[in-house]
């Protein structure tokens, strides 16, 4: 059984009127896929919290998550996502932190260079890659090079990239978002 998994949409500096927007469709799809494969997962959209950083810390402390996935879908949220990864690392220093989303995917190497607190970065579609990463970490920890396709990560100070993952050809095989 994998450890506790949290998928996290960082606090964003947005107008108050936008606080009730739709949660990240990517995180909802990823959560549904993981749940369908037997992985229990929590989703937290921090933009909906009254005291984003304080409430996020309380959630992280309570959940004691082993794996935290942080999304960054657009350049607009770049600094918020980076600060969130740093914050998660301070609160949960032993957790594995995985980044994903469009902005992180497009800027993977630069993100990993700027963010030593980030353990893995999923490039492209996350469903299969994140599931395989969870299962691989369960068996191997961080002790060896990761063979899971569709990742970038740091090993002994060097950025490593695995082969690209093929796109999911039939999206109808995916469950409806959580």
Q: Quick one: average pLDDT of 138-163?
A: 87
pLDDT score for 14: 61
Nearest to 66 by CA among 136, 125, 138, 10: 138
Q: Quick one: average pLDDT of 80-105?
A: 94
pLDDT score for 1: 44
**Alpha-carbon radius of gyration of the chain:** 15
Q: Quick one: average pLDDT of 79-83?
A: 91
pTM: 0.90
Question: Does 81 score more than 50 pLDDT?
Answer: yes
What is the per-residue pLDDT across 39-75, written as a single tens digit (0 to 9) for each?
A: 999 999 888 888 989 999 999 999 889 999 999 887 7
What are 66's two structure tokens?
Answer: 């082993």
What is the per-residue pLDDT across 98-108, written as a single tens digit (0 to 9) for each?
A: 999 988 999 99
Nearest to 125 by CA among 155, 159, 149: 149
CB-based contact 154:145 (threshold 8 Å): no
């Amino acid at each position: 059984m994998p450890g506790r998994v949290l998928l996290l949409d960082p606090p964003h500096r947005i107008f108050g009127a936008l606080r009730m927007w739709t949660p990240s469709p990517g995180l909802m799809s990823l959560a549904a896929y993981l749940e369908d494969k037997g992985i229990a997962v929590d989703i937290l959209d921090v933009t909906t919290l009254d005291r984003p950083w304080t409430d996020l810390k309380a959630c992280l402390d309570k959940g004691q998550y082993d794996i935290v996935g942080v999304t960054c879908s657009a350049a607009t949220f770049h600094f918020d996502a980076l600060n969130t990864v740093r914050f998660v690392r301070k609160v949960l220093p032993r957790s594995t932190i995985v980044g994903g989303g469009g902005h992180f995917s497009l800027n993977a190497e630069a993100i990993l260079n700027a963010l030593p607190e980030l353990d893995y970065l999923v490039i492209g579609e996350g469903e299969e890659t994140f599931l395989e990463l969870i299962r691989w970490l369960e068996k191997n920890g961080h002790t060896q090079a990761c063979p899971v396709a569709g990742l970038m990560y740091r090993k002994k100070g060097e950025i490593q990239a695995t082969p690209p993952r093929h796109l999911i050809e039939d999206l109808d095989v995916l469950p409806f978002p959580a």
